[in-house]
Amino acid sequence: MYPEIYVLRHGETFWNSEGRMQGGLNSPLTPLGKEQAERQAAILSQIDLNRFAILCSPQGRAFETAAIALARQVDNIHTDPRLREIEVGEWKGRLRSELASPDEFEETPDGALELYERAPGGEGFAALEARCIEFVSSLQGPSILVTHGITSRMLRSTVLGLGRDGMSKMPGGQGVVYHLKNGVQKRLS
């Protein structure tokens, strides 16, 4: 059993709004992305975070979101490279529409998940799953995690015991917070 966690995805970036694959690259938050992070701050303001470790992807879009969503309540935000987004290799910066026709894959709030698995030179889901298992197994207690769309799905699927296959069933979206405790996930919005 894993400790209690809250998972936040970064707010919308300019590249998200354009439908670009980001992976290890970065794009700043849009005005909407900043509003989404403020919405997460409002959600978390109702929770006593004193006993929670605050862990964030080192990528700029996630750290910018963490600063907006959490800085009023916590003294420190620690980065952990295991929370970075899945690597998309040669497809970094490419428009999703250049990579597949709209009817080829199912679109989700995080884009067509199959593209992340197929990216030439990318990380792939098996490696992402191993990274997420190692990360959640290392948690020492209740934690707030600020991460990315695909990594968030894999982390939550791991904590819920659904593995890689359960990732596609995970809800996505920005401006929300997912609470996981005792094997149950709740979307807070």
CB 12 within 8 A of CB 161: no
Q: Which of 113, 115, 116 is nearest to 166 (CA)?
A: 113
Assigned token pair, 83: 């929370």
Taking only the tens of pLDDT, the chain with its 189 residues reads 899 999 999 999 999 999 899 999 999 999 999 999 999 999 999 999 999 999 999 999 999 999 999 999 999 999 999 999 999 999 999 998 888 766 676 766 666 788 899 999 999 999 999 999 999 999 999 999 999 999 999 999 999 999 999 998 899 889 999 999 999 999 998
Residues 153, 145 contacting (CB under 8 angstroms):
no
What is the spatial distance between Cα 187 and Cα 6, in angstroms, rounded to a whole number? 10
Catalytic residue among 10, 12, 64, 148: 10
CA distance 158 to 171: 14
For the full predicted model, state whether its pTM sits above 0.75.
Answer: yes
**Annotated active-site residue in 12, 64, 85, 123:** 85
List the domains of the chain with CATH numbers.
Answer: 5-188 (3.40.50.1240)
| Known catalytic residue at 35 | no
Which residues lie below 8 Å from residue 50, measured CB to CB, with a gap of 6+? none
Q: Please say if 107 is a catalytic residue.
A: no
Q: Which residues pair with 187 in a beta bridge?
A: 178
